Structure 1
Amino acid sequence: MANSTAKKNILNKIKQALDTPVPLPFELNNEAVNVFQPAKEELEIIFAEAFTKLQGKFIFCADENELHAQLQLLISSKEWMKIFCNEDQWNVLYSNTLNLESCDAAITGCEYLVARTGTIVMSAAQQSGRTVSVYAPIHICIAFTNQLVYDIKDALQFFKEKYIAIPSLITFASGPSRTADIEKTLVTGVHGPKEVYLFLVDKTA
């Protein structure tokens, strides 16, 4: 009987609270207001600074001819013999292995670049799929300046406009993988690529 009375009292209090809710101590959020200040520099510069702070390797190319020259120079200088790429735009030029598990480096494109955080945004809708960018020991991403956005919310908005159905996986990669789980010592390449190269090709013309 006592338990029944206590339960009834609690339910009555809940009902009273719902009937007379306490006003919020702050106004409703205005989605149009940006949390972060708008970009004051060119997005290329903002991205390059953020990306390199996260130990990413950034290479700017004036056009696709310079891209090919710089990328071939990198591959040659590092003596990478097995390059994996399954994206139509690049595989004819660079791919020479079908074995992702034993490759030296892998090349992918991306969906967008988030300038504020230095983040490469990829998705399962790309030809590279889910695994290429995280499985290879070296990840080389080729992007264009027209893929730059300022903030993550901008990238997500473009996803909504680009796809009828949002891809099953969206990946946000900010530099090489790293962890400090082991004795609080920062180690790179534990859960993904140990090096990430971003070739940004100017496409303003």
Structure 2
Amino acid sequence: MANSTAKENILNKIKQALDHPVPLPFVLDEPDASLYEIAVEELEIIFAENFAKLQGKFIFCADEKELHLQLHHLISSREWMKIYCNENQWNALYSNTINLESCDASITGCECLVARTGTIVMSAAQQSGRTVSVYAPIHICIAYTSQLVYDIKDALQVVKEKHSTIPSLITFASGPSRTADIEKTLVTGVHGPKEVYLFLVDTTTVNP
């Protein structure tokens, strides 16, 4: 009898809840409404802050000249002897090895940058292909301010419009590889690069 009474009480509560539903915390007739706050700062600033939070290393360059000075300084100061690059735009300037497996660092471009999450978006349609950004112990990405978008859906739209077909692989890289699977201790570089550098070039005077 007690079990029957408890069941009836539960059913009555469910019925009452259905008769008087709690208002939903969002408007149903706005399917295109953003789930996130609209950007109030420049995308460069938002991206840099979020990228740094994820242990990414951000370098802003006023133009191409500063890009090359900063990048040469980084390579020299870290004493990287083997740089792998498969991008025509920078291959002749930086690449000095054809062995990705034994390189010190790799250089790639990207499809775009997602400011809200501090994410580098790459795809298999790029010259670097699938492996360059994840195989090398250090990943250096060169991007331009014109490639900044606010949210992931904007990035997907950029990739879709840029290529005649959706690339077979789209990669979202937010800082260096990391995992906490082992004793809940955060370890970087387990499934990819230990360090990720993002050189962002201002495009007010330069076209990517």
Fold shared, TM-score > 0.5 on shorter chain: yes
- Tell me what 2:97 maps to: 97
Identity among equivalent pairs (%): 81
- Distance, in Å, in 2 between the alignment partners of 1:65 and 1:157 is 31
- Tell me what 1:115 maps to: 115
- Show structure 2 runs of 5+ residues with no match: 1-22
CA separation of 1:60 and 1:30: change in aligned 2, threshold 3 A: same
Q: Secondary structure at the match of 1:134?
A: helix
**CA shift for structure 1 position 29:** 5.9
Q: Secondary structure at the match of 2:37?
A: coil
- Tell me what 1:161 maps to: 161
CA separation of 1:29 and 1:163: change in aligned 2, threshold 3 A: farther
1:161-204 CA-to-partner distances (Å, cap 9, x unmatched) read 22221000000000000000110000000000000000000002
State how 1:32-181 maps to structure 2 within 5 Å. 32-181=32-181
- Distance, in Å, in 1 between the alignment partners of 2:29 and 2:76 is 53
**CA shift for structure 1 position 31:** 3.1
- Distance, in Å, in 2 between the alignment partners of 1:137 and 1:171 is 17
- Distance, in Å, in 2 between the alignment partners of 1:65 and 1:163 is 29
- Distance, in Å, in 2 between the alignment partners of 1:82 and 1:73 is 15
Amino acid at match of 2:101: E
Runs of 4+ in 1 over 6 A off after TM superposition: none
Amino acid at match of 1:46: I
Amino acid at match of 2:130: R
1:111-154 CA-to-partner distances (Å, cap 9, x unmatched) read 00000000000000000000000000000000000000000000
**CA shift for structure 1 position 28:** 4.3
How many residue pairs match? The answer is 182
Q: Secondary structure at the match of 1:39?
A: coil
- Show structure 1 runs of 5+ residues with no match: 1-24
User: Please, what is the CA RMSD of the aligned residues?
Assistant: 1.4
Q: Secondary structure at the match of 1:127?
A: coil
- Distance, in Å, in 2 between the alignment partners of 1:159 and 1:104 is 29
CA separation of 1:29 and 1:140: change in aligned 2, threshold 3 A: farther
Q: Secondary structure at the match of 2:70?
A: helix
TM-score normalized by the length of structure 2: 0.85
- Tell me what 1:8 maps to: none
- Distance, in Å, in 1 between the alignment partners of 2:150 and 2:127 is 25
Q: Secondary structure at the match of 2:98?
A: coil
**CA shift for structure 1 position 102:** 0.1
- Distance, in Å, in 2 between the alignment partners of 1:29 and 1:167 is 33
